[in-house]
C-alpha cells in the first residue's frame, strides 16, 4: 500500500481542530502527524486543497441504502451495497441493522454480516439487531407478530454468534436484568429502546450493563414531571450513550436542543441515520415486512402514517446538528464519529486521527459537504 501523506487541509483529530499538520498513512493506519514544515518521505502526496480532514463517520443504525433494505436482502452482497451507498456520505464504518423479523431472517442476517466481515467488506463493523425483544406498546414500524419475549435459549443463540461488534436493542420492561447482564458480560452492547419502561426499570438495566439508548425520544416512554420514563432516564444516567435521528421529523429540534443541554456525561448524544433504502437511491417506494413504505417530503411512512426509518444520511445529520441544533462544528463531528466509536468500544482504533488508528477519513468542505472518503487509507 505504501506511504501516503495527506496535506493541505485543517485537521480535526476527533477531539479538536489542529492546524499546520499533515497526516502520514502506512499500511492502512495513521503512522504519524507531522508539522507542515517537516519534509516527510512518502510514495503519494494527497493535497486536499482546503477544507477539513476528519475521522470517517460511524453509523450504528443503518437499515438500508442504495435501494437495498437489510431485512429484505440479508446477504453479504446486500451488506456491501448498503455500505457502498453510505460511503458517499462520509460513513467509513457502520452496523447494518435488522429490525424485528422472523428467526430465519435473523439467522440469515447474522450469517451475512459474518461473511461480509470475512470478505473485508469496507466499513462493516458488525451488526445491530433492533428487536425482536421489544415492547408491543412501543413497536413503531416493527411488525407486531415478529415481536417476542427473550428466552434463555435466545440469549444462548446471541452469545454463540461470535460477531465482534454486536449491538442489540431491547426493551427493559420485557427483558429482565439477569438476561441483560448475561449479554453485557459477554461483550454484547445492549441498547434500550422501543420500550414502555419506567425510570426504575431503566435504572435496573443500567446496573445490569446496558450501555446505549436507541433513537432517543422515539418509541419510548416520554419524560413528564412525575414519571421521567425512559426518555428522562436516558438523559439522567451518565453511563448511557443516546442515538438521535437529527432530521427534523423524528424529534422536534427544540427537544433535541434541550436534550443536548440536559444529558449527563460521560455518555453523550450521538448521530445515527436510521437510514432506509432511499438514501443514495432515487426510488420513493419500498417494502418492509410486506408493507409499503413511501417517501414524501423527506419523511418515510407506512400507510397509516407511522414513521418507518429515515431518509437521512450522516453528512446531512452533521449539517442539521450545526444549523438547527446550534452544535459547534467540532461537537457535531464528535457526534458522528468519536461518540459512536466509544459506545461500540472501538475508540482505540476508530473515531480519531492519531498514530495507531485506522486511516478512515472524510474530507469535508467548509459547509460540511463530503468531498472524498478513505477507508483504511484507500480512497473510495
Q: How far apart are CA 65 and CA 137, in angstroms?
A: 28
Q: How far apart are CA 281 and CA 303, in angstroms?
A: 21
Q: How far apart are CA 299 and CA 312, in angstroms?
A: 9
Q: How far apart are CA 344 and CA 165, in angstroms?
A: 7
Helices (H) and strands (E) in the chain, counts: 10, 23
Exactly one of 59, 154, 274, 281 is catalytic; which is it?
274
* 293-317 as b/e: b if 16+ CB within 10 A: bebeeebbbbeeeebbbbbbbbbbb
**In this structure, what are the phi and psi dihedrals at residue 200, rounded to the nearest 5 degrees?**
-65, -35
* 241-261 as b/e: b if 16+ CB within 10 A: bbbbbbbebbbebebbeebbe
Residue 338's alpha-carbon distances to 36, 58, 112, 131, in angstroms, are 25, 8, 26, 25
If residue 51 lies in a helix (H) or strand (E), which one and from where to where?
Answer: none
Q: How far apart are CA 82 and CA 55, in angstroms?
A: 20
If residue 25 lies in a helix (H) or strand (E), which one and from where to where?
Answer: strand 21-26
| DSSP 8-state code for residue 139 | -
Residue whose C-alpha is closest to residue 78's, from 62, 90, 92, 89: 62
Residue 51's alpha-carbon distances to 8, 48, 172, 173, in angstroms, are 8, 7, 44, 47
Q: Are 65 and 277 in contact (CB under 8 A)?
A: yes
| H-helix segments, 131-198 | 152-159, 177-185
162 part of the active site: no
- Write out the catalytic residue numbers: 274
Amino acid at each position: 500500500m505504501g506511504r501516503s501523506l495527506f496535506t493541505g487541509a485543517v485537521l480535526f483529530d476527533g477531539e479538536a481542530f489542529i492546524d499546520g499538520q499533515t497526516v502520514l498513512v502506512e499500511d492502512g493506519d495513521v503512522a504519524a502527524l507531522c508539522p507542515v514544515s517537516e519534509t516527510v518521505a512518502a510514495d503519494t502526496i494527497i493535497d486536499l486543497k482546503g477544507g477539513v480532514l476528519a475521522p470517517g463517520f460511524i453509523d450504528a443504525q443503518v437499515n438500508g441504502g442504495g435501494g437495498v433494505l437489510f431485512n429484505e436482502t440479508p446477504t453479504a452482497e446486500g451488506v456491501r451495497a448498503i455500505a457502498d451507498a453510505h460511503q458517499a456520505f462520509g460513513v467509513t464504518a457502520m452496523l447494518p441493522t435488522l429490525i424485528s423479523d422472523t428467526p430465519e431472517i435473523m439467522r440469515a442476517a447474522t450469517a451475512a454480516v459474518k461473511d461480509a466481515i470475512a470478505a473485508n467488506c469496507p466499513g462493516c463493523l458488525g451488526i445491530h439487531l433492533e428487536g425482536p425483544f421489544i415492547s408491543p406498546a412501543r413497536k413503531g414500524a416493527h411488525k407486531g407478530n415478529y415481536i417476542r419475549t427473550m428466552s434463555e435459549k435466545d440469549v444462548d443463540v446471541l452469545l454463540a454468534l461470535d460477531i465482534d461488534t454486536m449491538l442489540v436493542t431491547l426493551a427493559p420492561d420485557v427483558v429482565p436484568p439477569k438476561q441483560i447482564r448475561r449479554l453485557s458480560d459477554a461483550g454484547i452492547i445492549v441498547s434500550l429502546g422501543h420500550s414502555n419502561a419506567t425510570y426504575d426499570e431503566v435504572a435496573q438495566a443500567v446496573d445490569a450493563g446496558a450501555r446505549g439508548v436507541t433513537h432517543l425520544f422515539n418509541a419510548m416512554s416520554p419524560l413528564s414531571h412525575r414519571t421521567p420514563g425512559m426518555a428522562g432516564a436516558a438523559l439522567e444516567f451518565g453511563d448511557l450513550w443516546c442515538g438521535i435521528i437529527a432530521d427534523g421529523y423524528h424529534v422536534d429540534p427544540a427537544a433535541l436542543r434541550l436534550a443536548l443541554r440536559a444529558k449527563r456525561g460521560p455518555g453523550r448524544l450521538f448521530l445515527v441515520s436510521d437510514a432506509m433504502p432511499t438514501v443514495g437511491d432515487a426510488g420513493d417506494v419500498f417494502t418492509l415486512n410486506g408493507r409499503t413504505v413511501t417517501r414524501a417530503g423527506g419523511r418515510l411512512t407506512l400507510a397509516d402514517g407511522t414513521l418507518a426509518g429515515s431518509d437521512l444520511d450522516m453528512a446531512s445529520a452533521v449539517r442539521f446538528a450545526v444549523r438547527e441544533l446550534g452544535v459547534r462544528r467540532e461537537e457535531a463531528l464528535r457526534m458522528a464519529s468519536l461518540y459512536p466509536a466509544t459506545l461500540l468500544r472501538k475508540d482505540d482504533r476508530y473515531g480519531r486521527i492519531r498514530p495507531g488508528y485506522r486511516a478512515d477519513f472524510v474530507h469535508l468542505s467548509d459547509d460540511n459537504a463530503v468531498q472524498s472518503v478513505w477507508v483504511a487509507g484507500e480512497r473510495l
